[in-house]
Amino acid sequence: AQSVTQLGSHVSVSEGALVLLRCNYSSSVPPYLFWYVQYPNQGLQLLLKYTTGATLVKGINGFEAEFKKSETSFHLTKPSAHMSDAAEYFCAVSDWRAAGNKLTFGGGTRVLVKP
Amino acid sequence: KAGVTQTPRYLIKTRGQQVTLSCSPISGHRSVSWYQQTPGQGLQFLFEYFSETQRNKGNFPGRFSGRQFSNSRSEMNVSTLELGDSALYLCASSLASGETYEQYFGPGTRLTVT
């Protein structure tokens, strides 16, 4: 079975500082990988995804993530945090061998941005 | 194009009752997935429907069921509600069923069981 671990349930960063959110997955084969963001009282919005090809993936709002197969990681970064980045972030995987749209999510990381 | 809509947005029920939640996917989308979000268990996959057929099912008891109509709208039903069913229920739609299709999430229905 697949699993996703997000290190740190809460992260506090200063405005303008680097945002780094960690995600490690467990899977017998490299899965497809996703990062979602959830603002209060809203659903999830896709930031970026990795399926195949280039391992550095650029997403919306200045976020990017790098797939490292040897480390089974897919960490999310943003060079300069903005107040609007305060939200909860979820890493997710799907198994391309399985039929359908099932996503397995990590526990989430809540980001606080300090002025 | 309108996004995924879920009704109702908030719901309060009593233990033992049943509840039905509704999800209208983005126009043209044929796959609808449901997820449960709780502080303790996080986001968990309930089931997926595609072309009116259940495609995938998560590890939830039989009290949780769903269906999809010919217009792709979906409903999920929870019977004999328990306190632990209190959660945010999220619906996601995609063009088709398959891991490369992006899922678009609705705002969710917050269910409180008392």
pLDDT tens column, B96-113 = 776 667 889 999 999 999
Residue A113 contacts residue A61 (beta carbons within 8 Å)? no
Residue A102 to residue B48, Cβ atoms within 8 A: yes
Residue A101 to residue B58, Cβ atoms within 8 A: no
Nearest CA-CA partner of B36 in B96, B2, B82, B68: B82
Nearest CA-CA partner of B26 in B93, B91, B89: B93
In the stretch 2-61 of chain B, residues with CB closer than 8 A to chain A read 4, 31, 33, 35, 42-45, 48, 50, 55-56, 58
Distance, in Å, from the CA atom of B63 to the CA atom of B46, rounded to the nearest integer, reads 11
User: Would you call B3 helix, strand, or coil by DSSP?
Assistant: coil
pLDDT in tens, A54-113: 899 999 999 999 999 999 999 999 999 999 999 999 999 987 666 677 899 999 999 999
